[in-house]
Structure 1
Amino acid sequence: MSTIDINTLLEEKSEDFKLELLLGTGGLSKKITVREINRPGLALTGFFEHFPYERIQIIGTSEYTYLKYLGYDVQVKMLNKIFSHENAVCCILTKGLESTDAMMKVFSDLDIPLLRTNLSFSSFISDLIYYLDIKLAPSIKIHGVMTSVYGLGILIVGKSAIGKSECALELVKRGHKLVADDIINIRKCSGQTLVGSSMEISKNLIEVRGIGIINIKDLFGIGNILDESLIELVIRLEEWDPLKKYERIGIDEYYTEFFNVKIPEITIPIAPGRNIAGIVETASLNQRLKKKGYSTVRDLRARLQKEISRNSL
């Protein structure tokens, strides 16, 4: 399970999120484990059933006004109830709100981080959720090549030395973009979205047997690289097997699955004389047509039916 601590949040986003630490320096190592956040509205009234203690608690103007209405002793009681829990992470005040005396006592006593942002609640929440969605998304690492061809994210897989990197290099020479070579980090973001990216150590690099490691950014320019891309098609390269029946019409559809998300997959057999990069380009364009609702097979069937009907008259 992916996690980050409060200190990482501050290091990476204090400037963007206008965040400052008010109290609780001893709790900066506390782990954020979930992408969701929470507004402790009902909890401040004393209702704690199903309360998500493990989430970052956000206090906006409404919660803040109600807290001040409660008075010091009740504030301390309610805040202690929320943040003394073993899974409590931190609290963030929005819109530059000042901490109350009760907050000063509770967060100092518990050593739980109390942070503040000058951003409004709505703008801060959307940015924070997006950040957590990226940092805490479940992820795996696989061997392959990730490219963007005509704007479509393509993951190229196959056994070692089958020609994945060489195919990617040819695609780059044709003006397409390299995302990652060798080790691909795949993470599942919100909904059914899969995103592929490179490991930091091999970013912009590609290995070509006979030449070695080359830097795509230096050789071809920044326009030929992407930090990450949606995974929208998987292309599997394999050696041509004369005994195997390969897809010739495209009636059957195949999928690869990551994190219970199905991604369309096609298999391209490798043989001398085959222009693999050109086939990948064609597959990309064909997949884009499918996403827009057009099917060549369906169109062919309609033509055949029309011809059969005409000949039967």
Structure 2
Amino acid sequence: MSTIDVNTLLEEKSEDFKLELLSGNGGLGRKITVSDINRPGLALIGFFEHFPYERIQIIGTSEYAYLKHLDYDVQVKMLNEIFSHKNAVCCILTKGLESTDAMMKVFTDLGIPLLRTELSFSSFIGDLIYYLDGKLAPSIKIHGAMTSVYGLGILIVGKSAIGKSECALELVKRGHKLIADDIINIRKCFGQTLVGSSVEITKNLIEVRGIGIINIKDLFGIGTILDESLIELVIRLEEWDPLKKYERLGINEYYTEFLSVKVPEITIPVVPGRNIAGIVETASLNQRLKSKGYSAVRDLRDRLQKEINRNSL
């Protein structure tokens, strides 16, 4: 299971989210395990059934106004009941709200981080959940190359030395964008969506046999790279097998599966002299047409049926 700690949240997003640490710096190592958040309104009045202690707790203007209405000792009691749980993570005040004396005591004593953002609840919550979804999403790493061709995220896979990196390089030279080469990090985000990205150590780099490692960003410019993209088509490169029957009409649909999510797959046989990059470009455009409901096979079938009907008259 993927996790991050509160310190990582602060290091990566304190500027974007306008976050500051008010108290509980000893608990910055506490693990965030879920992307859902919680507003502890019911808990503040003493209702704890099914309370999600493992979530980040967000205190907005409504919860804050109720807390301020309580006596100091009652505030301490209620906050202790919420945040003394072993799975407690942290608490975030929104809209630049000032911490109460009771908050400072409880979060300091418990070692639970108390953070504050200048953003309103509605402005902050969507960005926070989006960030946590990306960080905590199930992920795997595979060998391959990934490019964005005409805006479509294409994952190129196949055996070692089949030409994945060379294909990606040629696509970059044709004006498309590199996402990753060699090791592809695949995350399952937002239900049934796969996102591919590079691992940090090989970011912007391609290994070309005979030349070595090249930096795509330095050679071709920053406009030729993307940090990540949806995986919308898998291209499988394999050596030409004269005994194998390859798809000729495109009648059958094939898929491959990552993290229980199916993605359309096309197998391209590789022989010397074949323009693989050009075929990948065509496959990308064809997949975009398919996603809009167009089928060349259906179009051909309709034309043949019209011709049969015309000749039968």
- Fold-level match, TM-score > 0.5? yes
Is 1:227 the counterpart of 2:227? The answer is yes
DSSP 3-state at the match of 1:96: coil
TM-score normalised by structure 2 residue count: 0.97
* Corresponding position of 1:175: 175
Distance 2:202 2:10 in 1: 26
Distance 1:307 1:109 in 2: 83
Which amino acid is the alignment partner of residue 273 of structure 1? G
- 1:240-288: per-residue Cα shift (whole Å, max 9, x none)? 1111111111111011111221110000001122111110000000001
* Corresponding position of 1:273: 273
* Corresponding position of 1:89: 89
Q: Count residues in correspondence.
A: 313
* Corresponding position of 2:50: 50
How far did residue 215 of structure 1 move?
1.1
* Corresponding position of 1:36: 36
How far did residue 236 of structure 1 move?
0.1
DSSP 3-state at the match of 1:243: coil
Which stretch shows the higher mean deviation, 142-151 or 69-78? 69-78
- 1:212-250: per-residue Cα shift (whole Å, max 9, x none)? 111111111111111111111000000011111111111
- Identity, in percent, stands at 89
How far did residue 31 of structure 1 move?
0.7
Which amino acid is the alignment partner of residue 237 of structure 2? L
Distance 2:301 2:77 in 1: 71
Distance 1:104 1:280 in 2: 59
Which stretch shows the higher mean deviation, 96-105 or 285-294? 96-105
Distance 1:212 1:170 in 2: 15
Distance 1:99 1:149 in 2: 50
Distance 2:292 2:128 in 1: 32
- 1:13-60: per-residue Cα shift (whole Å, max 9, x none)? 112211111111111110111111111111112221111110100000
DSSP 3-state at the match of 1:49: coil
* Corresponding position of 1:198: 198
Is 1:74 the counterpart of 2:74? The answer is yes
How far did residue 307 of structure 1 move?
2.3
Distance 1:173 1:26 in 2: 50
Distance 1:174 1:16 in 2: 35
Is 1:59 the counterpart of 2:21? The answer is no
How far did residue 310 of structure 1 move?
2.5
Distance 1:20 1:277 in 2: 48
Distance 1:261 1:119 in 2: 35
- 1:175-215: per-residue Cα shift (whole Å, max 9, x none)? 11111110001111112221111111111110111111111
Which amino acid is the alignment partner of residue 90 of structure 2? C
DSSP 3-state at the match of 1:65: helix
Distance 1:104 1:272 in 2: 70
TM-score normalised by structure 1 residue count: 0.97
* Corresponding position of 2:98: 98
How far did residue 72 of structure 1 move?
2.4
How far did residue 71 of structure 1 move?
2.6
How far did residue 115 of structure 1 move?
0.7
Return structure 1 stretches of 4+ with deviation > 4 angstroms: none
Which stretch shows the higher mean deviation, 74-83 or 280-289? 74-83
Which amino acid is the alignment partner of residue 211 of structure 2? I
Which stretch shows the higher mean deviation, 222-231 or 283-292? 222-231
Distance 2:231 2:10 in 1: 30
How far did residue 299 of structure 1 move?
1.3
How far did residue 124 of structure 1 move?
1.1
How far did residue 308 of structure 1 move?
2.5
Distance 1:147 1:118 in 2: 38
Distance 2:128 2:200 in 1: 23
Q: Which runs of 5+ in 1 are unaligned?
A: none
Is 1:163 the counterpart of 2:163? The answer is yes
Which stretch shows the higher mean deviation, 87-96 or 191-200? 191-200
Distance 1:305 1:53 in 2: 64
Distance 2:143 2:299 in 1: 36
Q: Which runs of 5+ in 2 are unaligned?
A: none
DSSP 3-state at the match of 1:153: strand
How far did residue 142 of structure 1 move?
0.2
* Corresponding position of 2:253: 253
DSSP 3-state at the match of 1:124: helix
Distance 2:249 2:65 in 1: 66
Calculate the aligned-residue CA RMSD, in Å: 1.2
* Corresponding position of 2:141: 141
Which stretch shows the higher mean deviation, 217-226 or 243-252? 217-226
